[in-house]
Amino acid sequence: MIAIKKVIPYIKDFFRRADMLLFTLCFSCSIVSLYAIYLATKGMQAGGVIISPTKCVIVQILSIVLGVIAFVFFTVIDADILGDQWRWLCVINVALMIALVIFGSEGESGSRSWIRFAGISVQPSEVVKVLYIVISAKQMTYLREHKDINSFLSVAQIAGHFVLVFAMIVVVGDDLGSGTIILAIFLMMFFAAGIRLYWFAIGFAGVAAVIPILWNYFLKDYQKKRLIAPYDKTIDPDGWGITWQTTQSRYSLMAGRMTGAGADHRPTVFTGKHTDFVFACIGENFGMIGCVLVAIVLTVIIIRCVYIGLHAGRMYDMLICIGVAGALAFQTFINIGMCIGITPVIGITLPFFSYGGSSMVTLFAAVGLVSGVKYKPKPEHFSMLF
């Protein structure tokens, strides 16, 4: 009893200083995901084996519990401690990619981006994304405070870091989806750090020059087809090949109409409906109203991350928040775009709704970093305009 009384003040302090609005929004999404995943996996098979909806829900519950723990941990721990250990974070990122080369196995998307052991599947790229945000925030802050961040050498260092991580994920990890999220994080943080626009113009010109090399020598045939399928209907005119999942997703969304298909409707069943295409399941069962609500809540989460960043008072903290917001915004846009057929199918989950332990835990950890920015005391010289 005495021990509990000693802990209560710390608990009260946590609820007072942490961003409980951000946590409530994210946690609410994850709870809705349980019902959506249960509906999506009813009657689903993988490799000829019937998937148990109950088992998927239990796994998702465990992931949410671990995610909540990660949120609390990364809220309480000072992000400066993580930033000061940037060398070890780099080592962890490289070690994860090496482990993927040795122990990696294919996921539903066909990419060799998973490590499986004892019945547990881990996607290293999800961890790499969070660590990349912390390392980049530390790097950009140092260059802004101690160097000229717009000098050629500084920009080359930042771009070089991005290229190395991007290459590790896309080439070594065979994960184009996570690679594009890294690109979105890089661009958002690059802009927020105060990089001049002419560097963006030079960068886009360089990318345009490199694209043919990437296309011809690094991207695999199935990746090329997925990238151009939404815009070239001759790739899969009948919708039964590379765009089969998107076709089924659109059928699901159309069946939901405004308020959901109803109990008498025979639901569509296709691989990935509980992961990358869970938005289609939401649309089928909750209609357009459910889809709009999901989009609104995720948008509020993103805006909240940006708001906390703008009120942080320090460049390092602001960059972390912008990086997390950029990742969430890009994931949301691309995933919903995949489901309605306007963006390529590149294996990107819908934040806090899709089935997947790695995604759920790392997302909670990421927003925990944002909550941690609000948790820490503001610097004495705090004088932001926002």
Q: What is the pLDDT along the chain (386 residues), one digit of tens a residue?
A: 556 677 777 788 888 888 999 999 999 999 999 999 998 888 776 656 677 888 889 999 999 999 999 999 999 988 889 999 999 999 998 888 888 877 766 655 556 677 777 667 778 888 999 999 999 999 999 999 998 999 999 999 999 999 999 988 888 777 888 889 999 999 999 999 999 999 999 989 988 888 888 788 777 787 788 888 888 777 877 777 788 888 888 988 998 888 887 766 777 887 888 889 999 999 999 999 999 999 999 999 999 999 999 998 899 999 999 999 999 999 999 999 999 988 888 889 999 999 988 899 999 999 999 999 988 775 554 444 33
- The Cα 369–Cα 366 span in angstroms is 5
Q: Does 381 fall in a domain?
A: no
List Cβ neighbours of 99 (8 Å cut-off, separation of 6 or more).
Answer: 115, 124
List Cβ neighbours of 48 (8 Å cut-off, separation of 6 or more).
Answer: none
Q: What's the gap between Cα 258 and its chain centre?
A: 28
Task: Pull the structure tokens for residue 230.
Answer: 């939404």
- The Cα 71–Cα 56 span in angstroms is 22
Residue 323's pLDDT is what? 96
Q: Does 383 fall in a domain?
A: no
Task: Pull the structure tokens for residue 266.
Answer: 């025979």
Q: Does 274 fall in a domain?
A: yes
CA 81-86-91 angle, to 5 degrees, is 130
Q: Does 35 fall in a domain?
A: yes
Nearest partner of 177 among 327, 66, 42, 24, judged by Cα: 327
Q: Does 380 fall in a domain?
A: no
Q: List the beta bridge partners of residue 115.
A: 104, 122
Q: Does 333 fall in a domain?
A: yes
Is the Cβ–Cβ distance between 130 and 362 less than 8 Å?
yes
User: Residue 155: how many CA atoms within 13 Å on its side-chain side?
Assistant: 15
Q: What b/e sequence results for 343-367 when a residue is b if at least 16 CB atoms lie within 10 Å of its CB, and e otherwise?
A: bbbbbbbbbbbbbbbbbbbbbbbbb
Is the Cβ–Cβ distance between 157 and 140 less than 8 Å?
no
Its domain, for residue 69, covers: 2-375
Is the Cβ–Cβ distance between 265 and 275 less than 8 Å?
no
- The Cα 298–Cα 292 span in angstroms is 10
Residue 224's pLDDT is what? 81
Q: Which sign, positive or negative, has the C-alpha torsion 6, 7, 10, 16?
A: negative
Is the Cβ–Cβ distance between 274 and 268 less than 8 Å?
no
- The Cα 10–Cα 13 span in angstroms is 5
> What torsion, rounded to 10 degrees, do the Cα atoms 16, 19, 23, 24 define?
70
Structural domain total, the chain: 1
Q: Are strands 104-105 and 49-50 parallel, antiparallel or unpaired?
A: unpaired
In the block, tokens 């962890």 appear at 92
Length of the chain: 386
Q: Does 245 fall in a domain?
A: yes
Q: Does 382 fall in a domain?
A: no
Is the Cβ–Cβ distance between 360 and 69 less than 8 Å?
no
List Cβ neighbours of 41 (8 Å cut-off, separation of 6 or more).
Answer: 51, 52, 53, 56, 273, 274, 355
List Cβ neighbours of 84 (8 Å cut-off, separation of 6 or more).
Answer: 138
- The Cα 180–Cα 344 span in angstroms is 11
Residue type, 24: T
In the block, tokens 């990349």 appear at 132
Q: CA separation (Å) from 206 to 91, 133, 209, 212?
A: 28, 23, 5, 11
- The Cα 150–Cα 354 span in angstroms is 39
Residue 112's pLDDT is what? 62
